[in-house]
Structure 1
Amino acid sequence: MKQLGFKDGDKIISINNQPVKDINKISIDIVMNPNTIIKINRNNDYQELKISSKDAIKILHSKAINYKS
Protein backbone atom coordinates (compact mmCIF):
# COMPACT_ATOMS: atom_id res chain seq x y z
CA MET A 1 0.00 0.00 0.00
CA LYS A 2 2.98 2.24 -0.52
CA GLN A 3 1.16 3.88 -3.44
CA LEU A 4 -1.28 5.26 -0.85
CA GLY A 5 1.42 6.90 1.26
CA PHE A 6 2.29 4.09 3.67
CA LYS A 7 5.92 3.41 4.50
CA ASP A 8 7.65 0.37 5.95
CA GLY A 9 7.23 0.36 9.71
CA ASP A 10 4.01 2.40 9.80
CA LYS A 11 1.57 1.23 12.46
CA ILE A 12 -2.10 1.79 11.76
CA ILE A 13 -3.83 3.18 14.83
CA SER A 14 -7.35 3.87 13.56
CA ILE A 15 -9.55 4.14 10.50
CA ASN A 16 -12.06 7.00 10.61
CA ASN A 17 -11.39 7.31 14.35
CA GLN A 18 -12.27 3.65 14.94
CA PRO A 19 -9.54 1.44 16.43
CA VAL A 20 -8.26 -1.29 14.15
CA LYS A 21 -9.54 -4.63 15.43
CA ASP A 22 -8.52 -6.90 12.57
CA ILE A 23 -5.46 -6.01 10.50
CA ASN A 24 -6.66 -8.35 7.73
CA LYS A 25 -9.78 -6.23 7.13
CA ILE A 26 -8.04 -2.90 6.59
CA SER A 27 -8.31 -3.05 2.79
CA ILE A 28 -12.00 -3.90 3.06
CA ASP A 29 -12.59 -1.03 5.48
CA ILE A 30 -10.89 1.41 3.11
CA VAL A 31 -12.79 0.20 0.04
CA MET A 32 -16.15 0.21 1.84
CA ASN A 33 -15.59 3.73 3.19
CA PRO A 34 -14.21 5.99 0.46
CA ASN A 35 -12.53 9.17 1.65
CA THR A 36 -11.11 7.38 4.65
CA ILE A 37 -8.76 8.95 7.19
CA ILE A 38 -6.18 6.57 8.58
CA LYS A 39 -4.20 7.53 11.66
CA ILE A 40 -0.71 6.02 11.72
CA ASN A 41 2.29 6.00 14.00
CA ARG A 42 5.40 6.61 11.93
CA ASN A 43 8.58 6.64 14.00
CA ASN A 44 6.67 7.80 17.11
CA ASP A 45 5.05 10.62 15.12
CA TYR A 46 1.27 10.41 14.65
CA GLN A 47 0.09 11.31 11.17
CA GLU A 48 -3.07 11.03 9.13
CA LEU A 49 -3.32 9.63 5.63
CA LYS A 50 -6.37 10.57 3.59
CA ILE A 51 -7.46 7.82 1.24
CA SER A 52 -9.73 9.01 -1.58
CA SER A 53 -12.26 6.96 -3.51
CA LYS A 54 -9.74 6.85 -6.38
CA ASP A 55 -7.20 5.35 -3.99
CA ALA A 56 -9.78 2.76 -2.91
CA ILE A 57 -10.15 1.72 -6.56
CA LYS A 58 -6.38 1.17 -6.71
CA ILE A 59 -6.68 -1.20 -3.75
CA LEU A 60 -9.48 -3.13 -5.46
CA HIS A 61 -7.43 -3.35 -8.63
CA SER A 62 -4.33 -4.60 -6.82
CA LYS A 63 -6.37 -7.21 -4.92
CA ALA A 64 -7.94 -8.43 -8.16
CA ILE A 65 -4.49 -8.89 -9.72
CA ASN A 66 -3.32 -10.85 -6.65
CA TYR A 67 -6.35 -13.16 -6.81
CA LYS A 68 -5.66 -13.95 -10.47
CA SER A 69 -2.07 -14.96 -9.75
Structure 2
Amino acid sequence: MMIPVVYQDGRHDMVKAPLLDRLIEEKKIARFRRSDGWVDIETDPVRRRGRQMFSIPERRSSLQ
Protein backbone atom coordinates (compact mmCIF):
# COMPACT_ATOMS: atom_id res chain seq x y z
CA MET A 1 0.00 0.00 0.00
CA MET A 2 1.32 3.43 -0.91
CA ILE A 3 0.95 6.29 1.59
CA PRO A 4 0.85 9.97 0.59
CA VAL A 5 3.51 12.06 2.34
CA VAL A 6 4.68 15.67 2.33
CA TYR A 7 8.41 16.22 2.88
CA GLN A 8 9.78 19.07 5.00
CA ASP A 9 10.50 21.07 1.82
CA GLY A 10 6.87 20.78 0.63
CA ARG A 11 7.36 18.07 -2.00
CA HIS A 12 4.60 15.44 -2.23
CA ASP A 13 5.26 11.73 -2.73
CA MET A 14 3.80 8.25 -2.25
CA VAL A 15 5.81 5.75 -0.14
CA LYS A 16 5.44 2.21 1.20
CA ALA A 17 4.82 1.65 4.93
CA PRO A 18 8.37 0.46 5.82
CA LEU A 19 9.81 3.61 4.25
CA LEU A 20 7.23 5.74 6.08
CA ASP A 21 8.54 4.40 9.41
CA ARG A 22 12.08 5.42 8.48
CA LEU A 23 11.02 8.86 7.23
CA ILE A 24 9.17 9.48 10.51
CA GLU A 25 12.18 8.39 12.60
CA GLU A 26 14.54 10.58 10.57
CA LYS A 27 12.09 13.52 10.66
CA LYS A 28 12.25 13.89 6.90
CA ILE A 29 8.51 14.35 6.40
CA ALA A 30 6.17 17.03 7.67
CA ARG A 31 2.99 14.98 7.36
CA PHE A 32 1.42 11.84 5.94
CA ARG A 33 -2.11 10.75 5.20
CA ARG A 34 -4.01 8.15 7.22
CA SER A 35 -7.45 6.84 6.34
CA ASP A 36 -9.00 9.45 8.65
CA GLY A 37 -6.96 12.42 7.39
CA TRP A 38 -3.55 14.09 7.38
CA VAL A 39 -1.18 13.56 10.32
CA ASP A 40 1.21 16.36 11.26
CA ILE A 41 4.43 14.79 12.55
CA GLU A 42 5.07 17.61 15.04
CA THR A 43 1.61 17.81 16.64
CA ASP A 44 -0.25 14.52 16.10
CA PRO A 45 0.49 11.17 17.75
CA VAL A 46 2.48 8.85 15.49
CA ARG A 47 3.91 5.42 15.97
CA ARG A 48 7.47 5.21 17.24
CA ARG A 49 9.21 1.94 16.54
CA GLY A 50 11.20 0.50 19.42
CA ARG A 51 9.62 2.72 22.06
CA GLN A 52 7.12 1.28 24.45
CA MET A 53 4.75 3.70 26.14
CA PHE A 54 4.15 1.46 29.17
CA SER A 55 5.25 -1.91 30.42
CA ILE A 56 3.06 -4.84 31.30
CA PRO A 57 4.44 -7.54 33.59
CA GLU A 58 4.70 -11.00 32.08
CA ARG A 59 1.83 -13.12 33.41
CA ARG A 60 2.60 -16.39 31.70
CA SER A 61 4.50 -18.93 33.73
CA SER A 62 7.51 -20.53 32.16
CA LEU A 63 7.19 -24.22 31.35
CA GLN A 64 9.94 -26.38 32.78
TM-score range, shorter chain: 0.3 to 0.5
Structure 1 length normalisation: TM-score?
0.40
Structure 2 length normalisation: TM-score?
0.42
**Normalized per residue, which structure has more helix?**
1
Higher relative contact order structure (alpha carbons within 8 Å, sequence separation ≥ 6): 1
Which one has the largest radius of gyration? 2
